[in-house]
Amino acid sequence: MNNLVKKKDLKVLGIATSIVLGMMLVLAGPLNIKLTYAAQQQVEHGSVLKLSSANVQIDIPLIKGYVNGKEMYVIATDASDKESADLITKITGFKVNVAPVLSKTPEDVLGQAFAFTNGIQGDGPYGFQLAVLSAHPGDQGYTPLYQVNSVEWVNQENARELKSVDEILTAEQNGELKIKKTITVVNKPAVKWDGGELMVKEGEINDETPYGGGQVTMIDTENMVVTFIGHRGWGPDGSTIYYIVTDAVPDMPANMMGVVHAPSDEKLANTSVAVDLTQFTNGINGTGPMGFQPGIGHANPTDQNYSPMWRIHFAEWNNPTTEAKLLQTVLDLNNAKDNGLLTISPAMEGKHVVNCPFFDQQTVFEHMSKT
């Protein structure tokens, strides 16, 4: 098995003593990487934190569906129940996270996905025609979160390929179809659609690659794969996670990152569907999105409160030149805040929500891009 963290895991520049933590992946599974207390004490103000494999390329299978009669390509990263997550994982070969909190998504933030359980055979989730989705980026009400509806032909002799929600609803009104609304919600961010696609980032991807200007390096609809840039960060307990970025609100950060602007995401900011993710606006320079240390998510992919929808908070050191130090856990954040060392506040008046599915190291190892 390839070891993602196979060289020097940490290099701290600008201090007298070089800290090198050589960490190897054991066969039993991925290694959670956390700096020792001694190492943390040596990360002084004015230093630069460089994590190895801070940016990696991850191949994620594309899924094709229809929107308003046109093809759209999406990925599926999270589902609200284990049965659905396991089904999508089996179909695509890519591990889908179970995120129960997605079932609490407000109705006006849900798109609708229609999956056929009989009829015309094809590449849909149940072996029949492609699924039909309600909107693509740029449409009013577009959202990456879809409620699943199962669709059954009453008489298979009437079965034909339908490519839009209007066609499906008309067929239902004519008594040709039965539609069953489920409670399953799936995160299916758009990658390529009629008239648009995610911004493709050019150039070499390495640990020094700037955060903005695109989050994918390749969209291959022939081989049904998209290559995302996976950014390294920390889970609430200091464990190593990777995340991708697919859509965001407001439009300024979405445009900066080169992802879809999804206004509906803002409606999640004050709900339990959005979980806190803290990014640093000053302090130790590093590979975080604003040029400082990596951020800290408040849930791991296996936690019950995990969600791919993150409510961004900014952490700002009150005296960055004298007091900033490396923080890796939610406890670290809270202690620093309680001691008056830094201020944590909601980003952009609490309206900054980003769709950032988290992946554990094992998933990243298995799907590292070979291009």
**φ and ψ of 321, to 5 deg:** -80, -20
SS3 153: strand
Token pair of 120 as six digits: 């015309």
Query: Is residue 117 over pLDDT 90?
Result: yes
- Give the model's pLDDT for residue 251: 96
Task: From residue 239, give the alpha-carbon distance in Å to each of 56, 154, 296.
Answer: 17, 50, 10
- Give the model's pLDDT for residue 47: 59
Query: Is residue 42 over pLDDT 50?
Result: no
The per-residue b/e assignment along 73-105, b for 16 or more CB within 10 angstroms, e otherwise, is bbbbbbbbbeebbebbbebbebbbbbbbbbeeb
Asked, as a colleague might, if the bond just before 250 is cis with ω within 30 of 0, I would say: yes
Span 183-231, pLDDT tens digits: 999 999 999 999 999 999 999 999 989 889 999 999 999 999 999 999 9
- Specify whether the CB–CB gap between 53 and 4 falls below 8 A: yes
Query: Is residue 166 over pLDDT 70?
Result: yes
Span 322-344, pLDDT tens digits: 999 999 999 999 999 999 999 99
Number of CB atoms found within 10 A of residue 133's CB: 23
Query: Is residue 8 over pLDDT 70?
Result: no
Give, in degrees to the nearest 5, the angle at Cα 239 between 293 and 332.
55
Which of 165, 68, 177, 182 minimizes the C-alpha distance to 118?
Answer: 177
Q: What percent of the chain has pLDDT over 90?
A: 83
Query: Is residue 5 over pLDDT 60?
Result: no
Query: Is residue 75 over pLDDT 50?
Result: yes
Q: What is the CA radius of gyration of the chain?
A: 22
